Chain A
Amino acid sequence: MRQLNTSSNTWLIYALGGGWGHLNRAIALGRIASRNRPVKILTNTPYCRYIEKFLPETNCQISAISSTADFETTCTQVQQILRETDYQCLIVDTFPRGLGGELATILPQLKTSVRVLIHRDINPEYVKVKNLHQFVADCFDLVLVPGEGVEVPLANLPGVQHTNPWLIRSAWELPIREDVEALLRLNPLERNSKLVLVLASGTAEELSFYGELTSILSQYWENVAVRCLSGQKPDKCPENLWVFHWPAMECLQVADVVVGSGGYNTIYECQALGIPLVAFAWPRLYDRQRVRVQRLVSANYEAGLAQSRLVLADSLETAIAAVCSELNLPVSQRCRPGYDFVNGAVSAVFAIELCCNFTK
């Protein structure tokens, strides 16, 4: 058994990466873990600035590296923080060698801490060319798959544990409907209407696409409310339809249908709440959004769930058609929000605690 040489019980979460996914997943874990220990989250997401005012409630300390820092500077800062922080456990989200490969030389020497990999689905080509099977087997004590199924590229390694998807909120933490309606600035008439919620994120082009979609959807019906939720107002999105709230999961329960991406948060939050999602699978270097959507479409089918729970859209037209189809369903056939989901972040904290106790 390896002996840990640290007086600290801090957990350090490496959550570098663009987009919301890495940060949200880290906070989902960290806010639960921080009840019993200090948790520090290392991030470089540009979205950090949008959620600064919400961060104190997470009880996690955020180490933010500028998203505009150049490659070398980011590598140096990450390595410096890892060297200078006294931590019991290092939790690396998604990228075993670090997003820039900057952990590749550090992790094999890091014998004094427990090392945990959060294995979100990744591009198998990346796994192959970087020989990640061997690297992960050599450098990590525990691999946690946060609800991404058994076919993720590293699922066959020993020591892999699966949990339900990690969510930023458990069911009992969700706000009441009236509060959400206020957050979304729904007027009395809109509160009695159906609501289409567009979750806009991603690249500038993708944001603009969602802005245009919001604008089109808002003109499509007279008795349907439309809101676009995003950190910054997308081009082409009418000002009065744009709102920002974090975490977005708190707003989903009042939507009749959500339009968004096939990214981790959007997919699993809608699945957990049973909110119909029309998803665009955007291309990413590491994430396989299309694979995630298709896997869950199949899983829903096999579970006998309504197929409208998740629809893959390829264009503006197919998305609008899917939204129309969902809104036109008779009440008896429509999905209703459910609050019986299990937040996998709770069991993930427990699994990491066990691993830390075993390695002491």
Chain B
Amino acid sequence: MLIQLIWQEVETTGREEKRVLETPVAMGRVLNAMPKVIDGIPVSRVILNDNQIAGYHALIVESNGELLVVDQNTSTGTLVNGLSFPSCTVVDSDEISIGIYKITIRLGANIRNTAAEGCDRMVGFLFKRRCGRTQSQGCPYCRGGQSDQDPYLSDLSYYPAYGEYDDWRRTYYYQNDSALYNRGTNEVDFTDSDAATFENESDRDFEQNFGAS
């Protein structure tokens, strides 16, 4: 089932995140703590950065046509519309609280309306752009959190919330082990996503020629 999760990325960018994902969806603080596959079905994994959140905190799964949120026996629990349950059925517009995050769930036609605009996740290192895809399948950038090979999974790019950039030699990246960069030169690679940004750049011909009219 296709669902959409919407939350405010309070700890990092402050940006509103809107992800369209295939169930099952695992939510937690550590990518590798969350299962990649459940019953042969790839799991969409969502990383939420907050110390109150367990490495693998909750799972959203489809069961008998209903959508179920299952807490993974965490100490802080998972709340649905403010009430704590070990597992709970959710419907469109319900709010799931995990740590500091309040996540709104959108289903059915409400997803289609927003999904038509494409994935809002920002990808690219030098030039951020919207992923724009509506299907995680075949998307080399976000892939709905399904692959830990996704170089943009944690948005480890030159970004205000990551690392201290006033001294590149000392604190290059807060999480530089996971960043996509050339370990030989310590330079971040120019990614294919950045290249795609240039491909779509349509103003490269404007204001370049005084003979135009």
Residues of A at under 8 Å CB distance from B?
16-19, 21-22, 44, 46, 67, 69, 71, 74, 94, 97-101, 125-126, 129-130, 284-287
Contacts and interface: CB of A to CB of B under 8 A. Distances in A.
Nearest to B209: A285
Contacts of B209: 71, 99-100, 285
B206 A130 contact: yes
A284 B205 CA distance: 12
A71 B213 contact: no
Contacts of B205: 285
A71 B202 contact: no
A101 B208 CA distance: 8
B168 interface: no
Interface of B: 202-203, 205-213
Nearest to A22: B213
Contact of B208 (A19, A100, A129): A100
A67 B202 CA distance: 26
Contacts of B211: 17-18, 46, 67
Contacts of B202: 125, 129
B213 A17 contact: yes
8 contacts: A16-B210, A46-B211, A67-B210, A71-B209, A74-B210, A126-B203, A129-B203, A284-B213
Contacts of A129: 202-203, 206
Contacts of B207: 97-101, 130
Contacts of B213: 17-19, 21-22, 94, 284-287
Contacts of A74: 210
Nearest to A102: B207
A16 B209 CA distance: 11
B206 A71 contact: no
A286 B208 CA distance: 12
B204 to A, nearest CB: 9
Chain B contact surface mostly: loop
Contacts of B203: 125-126, 129-130
Contacts of B212: 17-18, 99, 284-286
A203 B207 CA distance: 19
B69 to A, nearest CB: 42
A98 B207 CA distance: 8
Nearest to A104: B207
A46 B210 CA distance: 11
B206 A126 contact: yes
A101 B203 CA distance: 12
Given A17-B210, A130-B203, 19 more contacts: A16-B210, A17-B212, A17-B213, A18-B212, A19-B213, A69-B210, A98-B207, A99-B207, A99-B209, A100-B210, A101-B207, A125-B202, A126-B203, A126-B206, A130-B207, A284-B212, A285-B209, A285-B212, A286-B212
Contacts of A98: 207
A118 B39 CA distance: 66
B48 to A, nearest CB: 35
B200 to A, nearest CB: 11
A129 B209 CA distance: 16
B187 to A, nearest CB: 29
Contacts of A126: 203, 206
A200 to B, nearest CB: 16
A126 B94 CA distance: 43
Nearest to B201: A129
Contacts of A71: 208-210
B210 A44 contact: yes
Task: Select the residue from B207, B208, B209 with max chain A CB neighbours within 10 A.
Answer: B207
B201 to A, nearest CB: 8
A5 to B, nearest CB: 29
Contacts of A100: 207-210
Contacts of A101: 207
A235 B195 CA distance: 43
A336 B205 CA distance: 43
A109 B73 CA distance: 62
A44 B205 CA distance: 19
- Which 4 residue pairs of A and B lie closest in terms of their CB atoms, listed nearest first? A129-B203, A101-B207, A18-B211, A19-B213
Nearest to B212: A285
